Amino acid sequence: LGCLRYCLVLAIFLYVAVFEMWAMGGYLQSETIVGVIRFSLQQPTVDNCDPSKAQCFNAFSPLNTLPYCEQYERKISNASYKGKSYPCEIYEATNAQIV
């Protein structure tokens, strides 16, 4: 009777582990993704302050120092950027919604 019990337990284990989990992928049940994504951009500021505060100032890099901008001056050497150059503009929070 004890041997029969162990054989049945082994059979159940093999059914669950081998057939359901491995062969049928029972542990891979997929569900639809539900959620909300929020994305916001903020201009660079001095000391990473809150741009909505009056005492907070912008800290934009000059466009002639950014190698991906057409305004970039080649005499400033930055050989690490190999991509294409694009016309760059700076938009503050008041102008950003127009784009």
DSSP the chain: -HHHHHHHHHHHHHIIIIIIIIIS-GGG----------------BGGG--TTSTT--B-PPPGGG-TTBTT--TTS--TT--S--B------TTTGGG-
Residue 99 has pLDDT above 50, yes or no: no
Q: What is the pLDDT of residue 30?
A: 73
Considering only 23-27, 57-61, 94-98, which range has the smallest mean pLDDT?
A: 94-98
Q: Which of 41, 99, 90, 82 is nearest to 63 (CA)?
A: 90
Q: What is the pLDDT of residues 36-91, one digit of tens each?
A: 888 777 788 899 888 888 888 888 888 888 888 888 877 655 567 788 889 998 87
Q: Give pTM, 2 decimals.
A: 0.46
Residues 1, 8: Cα–Cα separation, whole Å = 11
Q: Given pLDDT bands bounded at 50, 70 and 90, which one contains residue 97?
A: low
